[in-house]
Amino acid sequence: MNKLLIQIQIHTSCTSKSEISRRFITGMQTAMDKFFSRRLEEYPAIMIDGMRFGKMTIVAAMGIREGGDKQILGLIEGG
């Protein structure tokens, strides 16, 4: 067996589900903090729209850059 493959198997077999969950939560929190603290000046236009799904409304915000590139800025459940 390949030496690298053996090292990967040993490393993954020693990582608990709880440790993976903690790493995932930490990584996602860091990514979310960066995402939600970004400046919006790079988007000369921002579109906000909502759609009802039964009793739930989903509101989406999309930023449009000068070149026409679009990026979803956020989704949230409305009332």
Q: Mind listing the pLDDT tens digit of every residue in the chain (79 residues)?
A: 555 555 555 555 556 778 788 888 888 888 888 878 888 888 999 999 999 988 899 999 999 999 999 999 988 887 6
What is the predicted pLDDT for the residue at 5? 52
> Angle at CA 32, nearest 5°, toward 12 and 43?
135
Q: What is the dihedral of CA 9, 30, 28, 55, to 10 degrees?
A: 180
Write down the residue that tokens 């939560």 correspond to. Answer: 25
